[in-house]
């Protein structure tokens, strides 16, 4: 039997890679820095997922369960890799617990970090309690509390969701599109309208990028749930002491607009994992110019990095959806397995 394959990160990508390998008899060591598995959908308490409409705790929870139950997978939570050395087929990883593991290949599934809205101060997050993020609203819904104004606990009557917060914004060094936030916002608009049918929901957008089949949520949110879309450039978000005031320009009619809301939601983007510099130096892999883990030979070997025997999958490579992260985890698992067979044949 081969030495185990090391997987770093227990989100959708890492869970998928671990399951794929174990299902063909390959041993796996899975390292997760938090105290539970599941990645962002579980750690941040997402509500219903797009496009499936399944609750995150059920969909991702079942992925966690099958990994935790699999005897070929050894899980270390609240753990990280401190040192990593060796060559394909024969790597050594020193863990934060003091334990050393001998592994044949590694898949980095270390995901992303949510954009921190305080880096966009003119849009009011961190200044006004009723300016919140999509992750906060996901938590309000998934906890059963419902969507409320943090300032006074009231049900909002008017909600604005601002798209592209921390994405497609050169001024703050974030040029990438975060891929999923248009779809998540359209879904969230429907969830809010379902819970609070008297509440008006407005989505402020530059462009709508509900790519591929995700376009379904865009149409459904308008036609069935009456979510309204405003094509606008936002100038600033202020407060009159009660309402949150969104000022900007309606770019379709080219007129300034100032509208008061009870709750303003930032559709935050996906930043590179804040630890990527450290991850890059420990594992000896290159970073993309925007700080994500770089993929080499994209059309040749799925998940290849600049270091032979070390692979990458999921949102560690750039903004990704859950289904694509899962597919990449599985694909990187196949590449990792092939790399071991090649290194054995070369010996």
Ligand X SMILES: Cc1cc2nc3c(=O)[nH]c(=O)nc-3n(C[C@H](O)[C@H](O)[C@H](O)COP(=O)(O)OP(=O)(O)OC[C@H]3O[C@@H](n4cnc5c(N)ncnc54)[C@H](O)[C@@H]3O)c2cc1C
Residues forming contacts to ligand X in the complex (CB under 6 A) are: 8-14, 31-34, 39-41, 46, 49-50, 80, 109-112, 114, 134-135, 138, 180, 184, 268, 270, 273, 275, 279, 314-316, 320-323, 325
Beta strands in the chain (DSSP E): 5-8, 28-31, 73-76, 81-87, 90-95, 100-103, 105-108, 112-114, 131-133, 158-165, 200-205, 228-239, 244-250, 255-261, 263-268, 270-272, 310-312
Question: Which residue number, 273 or 335, has a Cβ lying nearer to ligand SF4?
Answer: 273
Integer Cα distance of 45 and 68 in angstroms: 20
User: Rule CB under 6 A: is residue 168 a binding residue for ligand SF4?
Assistant: yes
Integer Cα distance of 200 and 218 in angstroms: 16
For the packed helices 134-142 and 181-195, what is the interaxial angle rounded to 10 degrees? Answer: 40
Integer Cα distance of 244 and 262 in angstroms: 6
Q: How far is the CB of 249 from ligand X (least distance, A)?
A: 26
Residue 339 binds which entry of ligand SF4, ligand X, none, CB below 5-8 Å type-dependent: none
∠ CA 70-73-75 to the nearest 5 degrees? 110
Tell me which of 14, 248, 269, 272 binds ligand SF4, using CB under 6 A. Answer: 269
User: Rule CB under 6 A: is residue 178 a binding residue for ligand SF4?
Assistant: yes
Residue 167 binds which entry of ligand SF4, ligand X, none, CB below 5-8 Å type-dependent: ligand SF4
Q: How far is the CB of 141 from ligand SF4 (least distance, A)?
A: 19
| Tally of CB atoms within 10 A around 288 | 14
User: Rule CB under 6 A: is residue 40 a binding residue for ligand SF4?
Assistant: no
Q: Which two tokens stand for residue 18?
A: 């671990």
User: Rule CB under 6 A: is residue 286 a binding residue for ligand SF4?
Assistant: no
Question: Which residue number, 107 or 177, has a Cβ lying nearer to ligand SF4?
Answer: 177
Q: How far is the CB of 87 from ligand X (least distance, A)?
A: 22
Tell me which of 177, 190, 217, 333 binds ligand SF4, using CB under 6 A. Answer: 177
Residues 112 and 273 sit within 8 Å (Cβ to Cβ): yes
Stretch that binds ligand SF4, among 10-18, 163-171, 212-220, 250-258 (CB under 6 A): 163-171
Integer Cα distance of 206 and 153 in angstroms: 31
| Tally of CB atoms within 10 A around 175 | 11
Stretch that binds ligand SF4, among 172-180, 191-199, 250-258, 283-291 (CB under 6 A): 172-180
Residues 204 and 234 sit within 8 Å (Cβ to Cβ): yes
Binding map of ligand SF4 across residues 190-229, x = CB under 6 A, - = no contact: -----------------x-x--------------------
Q: Using CB atoms within 10 A of its CB, is residue 188 exposed (0-12), middle (13-18) or buried (19+)?
A: buried
Interacting residues toward ligand SF4 by CB under 6 A: 163-164, 167-168, 177-179, 181-182, 207, 209, 267, 269
């Amino acid at each position: 039997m081969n030495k185990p394959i090391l997987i770093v990160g227990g989100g959708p990508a890492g869970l998928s890679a671990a399951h794929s390998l174990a299902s063909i008899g390959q041993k796996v060591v899975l390292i997760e820095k938090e105290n539970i598995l599941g990645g962002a959908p579980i750690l941040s308490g997402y509500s219903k997922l797009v496009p499936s409409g399944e609750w995150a705790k059920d969909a991702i929870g079942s992925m966690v369960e099958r990994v935790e139950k699999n005897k070929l997978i050894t899980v270390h939570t609240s753990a990280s890799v401190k040192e990593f050395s060796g060559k394909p087929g024969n790597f050594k990883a020193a863990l934060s617990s003091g334990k050393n593991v001998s592994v044949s290949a590694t898949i980095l599934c270390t995901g992303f970090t949510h954009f921190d809205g305080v880096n966009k101060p003119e849009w009011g997050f961190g200044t006004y309690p009723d300016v919140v993020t999509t992750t906060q609203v996901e938590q309000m819904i998934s906890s059963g509390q419902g969507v409320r104004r943090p300032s006074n606990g009231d049900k909002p009557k008017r909600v604005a969701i601002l798209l592209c917060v921390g994405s497609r914004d050169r001024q703050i060094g974030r040029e990438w599109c975060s891929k999923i936030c248009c779809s998540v916002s359209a879904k969230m608009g429907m969830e809010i309208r379902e819970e609070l049918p008297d509440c008006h929901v407005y989505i402020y957008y530059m462009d709508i990028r509900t790519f591929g089949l995700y376009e379904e949520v865009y149409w459904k949110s308008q036609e069935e749930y009456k979510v309204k879309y405003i094509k606008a450039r936002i100038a600033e978000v202020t407060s009159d002491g009660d309402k949150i005031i969104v000022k900007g320009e309606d770019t379709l009619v080219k007129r300034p607009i100032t509208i008061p809301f009870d709750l303003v939601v930032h559709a935050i983007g996906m930043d590179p994992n804040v630890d990527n510099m450290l991850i890059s130096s420990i594992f000896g892999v290159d970073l993309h110019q925007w700080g994500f883990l770089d993929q080499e030979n994209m059309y040749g070997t799925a998940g290849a990095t600049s270091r032979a025997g070390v692979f990458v999958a999921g949102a560690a490579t750039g903004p990704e959806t859950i289904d694509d992260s899962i597919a990449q985890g599985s694909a990187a698992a196949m590449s990792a397995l092939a790399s071991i067979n090649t290194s054995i044949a070369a010996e």
